[in-house]
Amino acid sequence: MLALNPGDNCQRTMHDRDRKPRNPSSAWRRLRAVDEIGVIVALLSVCGLLWVAAGDRFVQPTNLLQVARQASSYGIMAVGMVLLLSMGEIDLSVGAILTLVNIVTAVALREGMPTPLAVVVGLVTGSLCGLANGLLGVLLRIPTIIVTLGTMSVFRGFALVLSKATPIGNFQKHNLLFDLGSGKLLGVPTSVWAMLAVGLVGHVILGHTAFGWRAQAIGSNAQAARFSGIPLDRYRIAAMTIMGLVASIAGVMELAFLQSGSPTTGHGYELYVIASAIIGGTALTGGSGSVLGGILGALLIAVIRNGLVLLEFSAYWSTVVTGAVIIAAVAIGGLVKRK
């Protein structure tokens, strides 16, 4: 038998400690730690499939810019929805608020109101709708999903009454609002820049302010947040008001692009907005959220809708596919968390 030298063992052990262990999967682990990795992979995969299936029509710059512009409305509202979902709340009336703001702003312009003032009226209208949602939920002690299910019909009904169920376009359109709405900045539609600006503000609020941290704490454990002194009702009302303001921004941008107010604008948008937030990684149970993920989710939905058009599918299939994507996103998210 060979005798082992204890000194050799000691030197070997010290040498092993000094040498860094090789871990080829460390980069992959860091990549998986990115909250938005799932939606990024999904977006790139769908884009690749459509490039193969639809050819160069999909990757044409004009088509890609159109996809981004279509996603801007969903993306702007998804920023507010991410904040709500991270609190454990939800708003089903966002599409109706967009419609009402669209009509109210168009009516104000038709009556000769100066454009800046008409825009302010539209933004205040949307904010008041969100405030009403929050106050009703707090005062009546009703879940916001029930409140907004009712106000969705109320707001859409007001839009129909004001517009008499007809589009409104007989107003002055040669001004800065409509020039920006139909124009581009550095080759990119201004609505996309608006989405990025709202997303940046939302990211800062959610991840870098006391309001955002406390909102996520409420969604994580409402009772613990209450015991720690966080005023739940006040935060609930504030979050719903912010959601109304964000929806009104999207409504004004839609009016500026379409150059007319229509009572059908925004119909079904609540599905796309909620789907954008969920696909982007925001948990339905609250406690966490990703503004960047919500915007990427909006882009994914817009890409899918655009791909169906390029592949000459019926436009009605977009709703079917969006619902399927929601189910898949929730199922995959739950599987990942269990793992």
- Tokens linked to 293: 């993920």
- Given a cut of 60, whether residue 25 has pLDDT beyond it is no
- Tokens linked to 331: 């199922």
What whole-number distance in Å separates Cα of residue 179 and Cα of residue 184?
9
Q: Which amino acid is at 109?
A: L
* Backbone phi, psi, residue 184, to 5°: -135, 155
What whole-number distance in Å separates Cα of residue 94 and Cα of residue 98?
6
- Given a cut of 70, whether residue 16 has pLDDT beyond it is no
The predicted structure's pLDDT at residue 290: 85
Once rounded to an integer, what is the mean pLDDT over residues 267-289? Answer: 83
pLDDT digits (tens, 9 = 90+) for 233-249: 899 999 999 999 999 99
What whole-number distance in Å separates Cα of residue 339 and Cα of residue 335?
6
Lowest mean pLDDT among 40-49, 70-79, 275-284, 324-333: 324-333
What whole-number distance in Å separates Cα of residue 255 and Cα of residue 19?
63
Dihedral sign of CA atoms 256, 311, 188, 289 in order: positive
Q: What residue segments make up the domains of the chain, in order of their start?
A: 72-338
What whole-number distance in Å separates Cα of residue 67 and Cα of residue 90?
26
Lowest mean pLDDT among 49-53, 114-118, 147-151: 49-53
Q: Which amino acid is at 150?
A: G
The predicted structure's pLDDT at residue 56: 82
Domain boundaries 72-338, corresponding CATH code:
1.10.3470
Once rounded to an integer, what is the mean pLDDT over residues 5-11? Answer: 47
pLDDT digits (tens, 9 = 90+) for 173-216: 777 777 777 777 888 888 889 999 999 999 999 888 988 888 88
**Nearest one of 291, 278, 286 to 325, comparing CA atoms:** 278
Kindly indicate the confidence band of residue 332, based on its pLDDT and cuts at 50, 70 and 90. low
Kindly indicate the confidence band of residue 224, based on its pLDDT and cuts at 50, 70 and 90. confident
Contact 234, 112 (CB under 8 A): no
pLDDT digits (tens, 9 = 90+) for 177-188: 777 777 778 888
What whole-number distance in Å separates Cα of residue 271 and Cα of residue 281?
16
* Backbone phi, psi, residue 188, to 5°: -115, 135
Q: Residue 50, Cα to own-chain centre: how many angstroms?
A: 23
Kindly indicate the confidence band of residue 29, based on its pLDDT and cuts at 50, 70 and 90. low
Block residue for tokens 């038998």: 1
What whole-number distance in Å separates Cα of residue 175 and Cα of residue 179?
6
Eight-state DSSP code of residue 2 = P
Q: Which amino acid is at 227?
A: F
The predicted structure's pLDDT at residue 242: 94
Eight-state DSSP code of residue 185 = E
Mean pLDDT of the chain: 82
The pTM for the full model equals: 0.82
Dihedral sign of CA atoms 191, 64, 168, 242 in order: negative
Kindly indicate the confidence band of residue 139, based on its pLDDT and cuts at 50, 70 and 90. very high
